[in-house]
Amino acid sequence: MFYFDGERAERPSGVIFLESSYCEPNVNLKSGRDDKTGGQQGVSE
């Protein structure tokens, strides 16, 4: 789960791992398509 400094923050300030949770590595290569969509991925909880 990501957290942000405020509602208008473009990038997350950090990440929180919940107890008994796991995450898989996600390679995000910057492309022109990312710029059009804001480059944001879905938030995982």
Number of domain units in the chain? 1
Rounded to an integer, what distance in angstroms lies between the CA atom of residue 18 and that of residue 26?
Answer: 18
Domain range spanning residue 21?
Answer: 1-35
Task: For residue 7, tell me if it sits in a domain.
Answer: yes
Task: For residue 18, tell me if it sits in a domain.
Answer: yes
In this structure, the chain runs to a length of 45
pTM strictly above 0.75: no
CB atoms within 10 A of CB 4: 12
Buried b (16+ CB within 10 A) or exposed e, 7-17: eeeeeeeeeee
**Quick one: tokens of 41?**
């991925």
CB atoms within 10 A of CB 2: 14
Per-residue pLDDT of the chain (45 residues; tens, 9 = 90+): 888 888 888 888 888 877 877 778 788 777 655 555 555 555 555
Task: For residue 21, tell me if it sits in a domain.
Answer: yes
Task: For residue 6, tell me if it sits in a domain.
Answer: yes
